[in-house]
Amino acid sequence: MKNNDNKKADKPEFYPWATLYSIESNIYESGASQAQTRVGRPASPMPRRKSSTSLTDEESRIWDDMVYTLKKKMYPAKVQKNQVMGFALRVLDKLILEITDKPYRNWEEVAHLILSDDES
């Protein structure tokens, strides 16, 4: 059983959406050749739907800060706000799935279950 655990630890998990984000950001694995450039906007490797939402000033600041931090860390890659939102939604989806068996009825309880450090 431990051999399987070690093999899994050695090999990173594959996330197809993360690979597509890297393509959008013009990040190429070493040795891979960049596709020939064409005139005009390239076709998006990930079809997207236009969406709109209303954010508080704090939520907008958090989103902008995340984009800025990722742009700085991943430079010269292009980091887009929609990629950061998509990534955040996937993280939240995983966190919500982890608490589905626990009782909660309001946002305070959800926040406590996801954000608190205690194992209660």
Q: Please report whether residue 36 resides in a domain.
A: no
Is 50 exceeded by the pLDDT of residue 23? yes
Nearest to 78 by CA among 41, 47, 112: 41
Identify the H or E element spanning 32: none
Is 50 exceeded by the pLDDT of residue 41? yes
Q: How far apart are the first and last CA of the chain?
A: 30
The distance from CA 27 to its chain's CA centroid, rounded to whole angstroms, is 15
Q: Please report whether residue 38 resides in a domain.
A: no
Q: Domains in the chain: how many in total?
A: 1
Q: Please report whether residue 11 resides in a domain.
A: yes
pTM metric for this prediction: 0.68
Distance (Å, whole) CA 46 – CA 13: 20
Q: Which residue range forms the structural domain that includes residue 22?
A: 2-27+56-115
Q: Please report whether residue 51 resides in a domain.
A: no
**Please, what is the average pLDDT of the chain?**
81
The pLDDT tens digits for 70-102 are: 999 999 989 999 999 999 999 999 999 999 899
Q: pLDDT grade, residue 19 (50/70/90)? A: confident
Amino acid residing at 75: Y
